[in-house]
Amino acid sequence: MLWRGLTQVTHIKLLLFFQTTHTGQCGLLHITLLSLSLLLIVASLNTFWSAQLLVLCFTNVVNSYSNSYELVVVIC
């Protein structure tokens, strides 16, 4: 229902690939981050407000060998 008031959406996607190595007490732990994807969504909403609201939503997805983590930050 909130998406009906979406008047403009701009997507900017940055793909960053890098490799990192960590050494722990139990031995060598080698973690390869397959992708770090930063998705910037800029949306102009006017559903429930008379003035338009600018919403910035950052989605950070980090994939490792067996896990995937996603961090979403919304700034109004």
Q: Is 68 or 26 the better-scoring residue by pLDDT?
A: 68
Q: Which two structure tokens, joined as six digits, stand for 4?
A: 């009906």
Domain ranges of the chain: 2-75
pLDDT score at 22: 42
Q: Is the pLDDT of residue 70 over 50?
A: yes
Question: CA nearest 15: which of 62, 76, 75?
Answer: 62
- pLDDT single digits (tens) 11-53: 444 333 333 444 443 333 333 333 444 444 444 444 444 455 5
